[in-house]
Amino acid sequence: MSQMEDLCVTDCERCPALVDSRSRIVNGVGPGDADLVFVGEAPGAQEDERGEPFVGRSGDVLNDALRDVGLARADVRITNCVRCRPPENRNPTSDELDNCEGYLQTELDRIDPELVVTLGKVPSERLLDRSVAVTEEAGDVVDARIGDSSRRVLISVHPAATLYDRSQRETFTDAIARAADLAGVRETDGGQTSLGDY
């Protein structure tokens, strides 16, 4: 079994309401040894349909912010607190978050990244185990106990927030740039050739 397959949940029925609402289990994507792991809340409609986290417009915002710091989506790990789509896109309940927590902890333990980035309020509050004012705290880095491990966590607004409030765009891109710097994965020239090279 490959390392990627090892990180996949293929059969789970712990959350009855989510088993009814999902089309499939949406596992994390990206390298099994990524330095940077992004954690969202739960799959939405497009993620449920395509079987991949952070696709559609939110995924485009995330991909653009990664590209701005010279990273491809395939360079990072992207996952969620719960792996099945809640009905009507409601927030996952605390029981559902509890049920799925072990999968996320195992994923983080196996990957052992330099930095975890929480995308939005639900994953931030879940991983930090406290209430979080995401907009005010975006870009802050804190140490958190996740399972048996201590991890560096950077708080970020959810990429979808930038679609409804343009003022959040800079907050989001600044947080992603800081995350890339802290994880040591930023490509400083963005892969572009300067005129000075000619």
In whole angstroms, the minimum distance from the beta carbon of 43 to ligand SF4 comes to 9
Q: Is 41 in the site for ligand SF4 (CB under 6 A)?
A: no
How many residues form the binding site for ligand SF4 (CB under 6 A)?
15
Site string for ligand SF4, 65-94 (x = CB under 6 A): -----------------xxx----------
**Binding test (CB under 6 A) with ligand SF4, winner from 8, 9, 144, 163:** 9
Which contacts qualify for 131-138: CB closer than 8 Å, 24 or more apart? Answer: 134/158, 135/161, 135/168, 135/171, 138/171, 138/172, 138/174, 138/175
Decide whether 15 or 138 has the Cβ nearer to ligand SF4. Answer: 15
Interface segment toward ligand SF4; rule CB under 6 A; list 98-106, 119-127, 155-163, 172-180? 98-106
Decide whether 12 or 144 has the Cβ nearer to ligand SF4. Answer: 12
For residues 65 and 105, the answer to whether their CB atoms sit within 8 Å is no
Helix or strand or coil: residue 77?
strand
DSSP per position, 144-195: EEETTEEEEEEEE--TTHHHH-TTHHHHHHHHHHHHHHHHT---TTTTPPPG
* Binding footprint of ligand SF4 on the chain (CB under 6 A): 9, 12-15, 18-19, 25, 82-84, 96, 99-100, 103
